[in-house]
Amino acid sequence: MKKFMLIFAVCVAACTFQTKHRGYVFPANLESIVADIKTTDDLTREIGSPQVTTIYGDDVWIYYGVDENYRGPLPLQYDNQTVLLAWVDGKNVRQIRVLHDQDLPDVMISEDETEIPAAIELNAIQELFNNIGRFSPAGLGQ
C-alpha cells in the first residue's frame, strides 16, 4: 500500500498545473494608461524600456508579454498574449497599438526541413568512412 501511495504521489506531482509569465507584465487597464502617453519619457515611465526596437522603416518600440501554461503531460499552451507597438518620432509617440490574443495571427510552424543549397547528403557508411583520419589518436594531445 505504501508503494502504491508513493507511485500515486509521484504521478500526481508530475501532472501539476503551472503558469509562467514571459516578457512584460502589463497592467489590467493598459488601454487607459497608453491613451495618456505622448512622449517616450512617459512610455518608459509607465511601461518600461522596450524589448525590441525596429532598425528598418518607422521607429517602433515593441513590448510583449505572454503566460505559458504547463499542464503535466499535455502540450504547452499560451494565453494572455499581449503586444504593445509604439511608433516613435524622436521624443514623441505618434501612435500606440495594443494587440491581444484574438488580434494576433495563428502561425503554423512547418514540420518540414529546409533544404540547404550545396549540402552533401551522406548515408551512415559514407559518414563512417568520411571520418577516418580526422581524429588524432588518444593521448597525443593534438
Is residue 47 within 8 Å of 101, Cβ to Cβ?
A: no
| Residue 101 cell numbers, joined | 490574443
Is residue 109 within 8 Å of 51, Cβ to Cβ?
A: no
Residue pointed to by grid coordinates 512547418: 110
- Identify which of 31, 50, 20, 27 has the alpha carbon closest to the alpha carbon of residue 99: 31
pTM for the model:
0.60
Per-residue model confidence as pLDDT tens for the chain (142 residues):
888 777 777 666 666 677 888 888 888 888 888 888 899 998 898 888 898 888 888 889 999 888 888 776 677 777 777 888 889 888 899 999 888 888 877 777 777 777 777 777 788 888 777 777 776 666 555 5
- String of DSSP letters for 73-128: TSPPEEEEEEEEEEEEETTEEEEEEEE-GGGSPP-PPP-SPPPPTTPPP--HHHHH
- Identify which of 33, 32, 41 has the alpha carbon closest to the alpha carbon of residue 61: 41
